[in-house]
Structure 1
Amino acid sequence: MSRSSMSSKPSPARVLPRTAPDPRWRPGSPVQPFHSEIFAPAGEASGAGLALALARDAMTSLAAGEGEDTRQVLWVQDRAAIRKGGRPCLAGLPQDLRHRLIHVAAATPEDALFALEEGLKCRDLACVIGEIAGNPKALSFTASRRLSLTAEKHGVRLWLVRLDAAPDLSSARMRWQARAAPSAPARWDAAAPGPATWQAELFRARTHAPGQWSLSDDAGTLRLAREPDLDTLAAPDPVHLARPTVGRSLAARIHA
């Protein structure tokens, strides 16, 4: 080593700015996952309601500045989901969706998964909503992984409602527990039903900390009715593996 190289001063290191993303989920987030799951009881329609609200929130936030997204919406149900919760009621849907809903009634979970995957390959769809009851063998981690990869490859988002199901291994990027919550009084008639409200728990996400929210559908816009519990954000639930993940999913880590 030469004397000149030993005496030369090292160049000062550049300090690059580091901006940590906000770990708290909020309605209207510009970062929207391509595959989400919502676990909910079948008898109160909270799963389908929250799935539709989250889907519309994503479509609105992603289309900001680009005009309204008027593509079709695919809704797939297996027979058990229809028996437990009924079919979507057109009169109860938001007016801008009634004329562009495509409903598929599948006989089995296998048929429902096939329809969901085929729908995710169609870029002419705004999004896909699915409802599957219980924990069928067909909805394995491999099947959920296929849905995630297909959604991400073709750019079509999926919200899969799991009716009366236990959280199992899945590659879904966001996983919610949903329950119906009391609605606030209607603005002009205190005796009338208020806006739909859900108690929603985000127990797994790639980019957000877990937490609980009270969410409501205010004239077609998803609103945050109550701030998340900071204690819940700080203390992940070990039963649900409730913590943000980086890189591969928790299920992928288990299988590794």
Structure 2
Amino acid sequence: MASSPAPEPASALPRRRPELRQPTLSEIFPETAMDAAAPAFALAHLDPGDGPVLWVQDRLSARESGRPFPPGLGRCELLHLQVSRPIDVLWAMEQGLGCAGLGAVIGEVWGSAPALDFTATKRLALRSEAHGVPAWLIRRAAPPELSAARERWRLSSLPARAEPDDARAPGAPLWSAELFRARWRAPGRWVAGHDPESGELALGHAVGMDEAEALRVTA
């Protein structure tokens, strides 16, 4: 695999938040199983004002990658549920997606799971779209098998941007975000991060695309 591109400076990130055409099911495959880029990227798509987030983990995900740390999630209100099996994650997500009071539902499943087939993901996508609740499924240590998810991403962490006021302090995070399958827009790969002024997610430097194509994809 080619090495990750050097992060662009903060000023290079456009103030453009990549919006899904409607709430639906999206999948994220971390390139390193325990990379925190995946949940950070999913949360960056959400508006805390939309309501609490139901976060469902199977036992192996919680053991290997850790539980969410609410004080580190900013203004996001979190409802955390740990279950034993991937099929339990699917059941809990489906129930949560029927609750219009939730801002989103995030599920984490470790490894390949027979229960996570095309039919199961189709049910999640349709339920998300019917009730207007975004669904994000994080697939750790798993290959991208057949799925009905409307967007499918590969995520990895990049070196953080430099902190302008203190070179020794950690800067804002950056991610390598590859959209390798999508229903409503063309695939592509970007250096993604939070816009330094608005704080919203921005797909910045487009890897392997010229400027006109990058604008068309994120519009």
Q: Does TM-score exceed 0.5, indicating one fold?
A: yes
The residue type equivalent to 1:225 in the other structure is G
User: Hey, what does 1:39 align to over in structure 2?
Assistant: 29
Match of 2:167 among 190, 193, 209: 190
Report if aligned partners of 2:58, 2:108 keep a CA contact under 8 Å in 1. Answer: yes
Note the C-alpha offset of 1:30: 6.4
TM-score by length of 1: 0.71
Note the C-alpha offset of 1:69: 2.4
CA displacement 1:15-57 (0-9 Å, x = unmatched)? xxxxxxxxxxx62436244110000022221111111112x2x
User: Hey, what does 2:56 align to over in structure 1?
Assistant: 76
User: Hey, what does 1:22 align to over in structure 2?
Assistant: none
Name the SS of the counterpart of 1:149 in structure 2: helix
Q: Distance in 1 between matches of 2:133 and 2:26?
A: 12
Match of 1:223 among 202, 213, 218: 202
CA displacement 1:103-144 (0-9 Å, x = unmatched)? 001111111111000000000101111111111111111111
CA displacement 1:199-243 (0-9 Å, x = unmatched)? 000000011111100001246421233124228x99xxxxxxxxx
Asked if 1:170 is matched to 2:147, the reply is yes
User: Hey, what does 1:49 align to over in structure 2?
Assistant: 40
Report if aligned partners of 2:188, 2:206 keep a CA contact under 8 Å in 1. Answer: no
Q: Distance in 1 between matches of 2:34 and 2:175?
A: 14
Q: Would the alpha carbon gap of residues 147 and 30 (structure 1) be closer, same or farther in structure 2, given more than 3 Å must change?
A: closer
User: Hey, what does 1:85 align to over in structure 2?
Assistant: 65
Q: Distance in 1 between matches of 2:99 and 2:44?
A: 22
Name the SS of the counterpart of 2:49 in structure 1: coil
The residue type equivalent to 2:204 in the other structure is A
Correspondence list, 1:22-37, <5 A: 27-29=17-19, 31-37=21-27
Report if aligned partners of 2:104, 2:135 keep a CA contact under 8 Å in 1. Answer: yes
Kindly report the root-mean-square deviation, in angstroms, between the aligned alpha carbons of the 2 structures: 2.1
Match of 2:184 among 202, 207, 214: 207
Q: Would the alpha carbon gap of residues 187 and 224 (structure 1) be closer, same or farther in structure 2, given more than 3 Å must change?
A: farther
Q: Distance in 1 between matches of 2:111 and 2:94?
A: 19
* Percent of matched pairs sharing the same residue: 45
The residue type equivalent to 1:147 in the other structure is L
Query: Aligned pair count?
Result: 195
Match of 2:98 among 121, 126, 131: 121
Q: Distance in 2 between matches of 1:205 and 1:145?
A: 14
Q: Would the alpha carbon gap of residues 147 and 108 (structure 1) be closer, same or farther in structure 2, given more than 3 Å must change?
A: same
Higher relative contact order (CA 8 A, sep 6+): 2
Q: Distance in 1 between matches of 2:207 and 2:149?
A: 22
Q: Distance in 1 between matches of 2:204 and 2:163?
A: 15
Q: Would the alpha carbon gap of residues 180 and 105 (structure 1) be closer, same or farther in structure 2, given more than 3 Å must change?
A: same
Report if aligned partners of 1:127, 1:157 keep a CA contact under 8 Å in 2. Answer: yes
Asked if 1:109 is matched to 2:89, the reply is no
TM-score by length of 2: 0.82
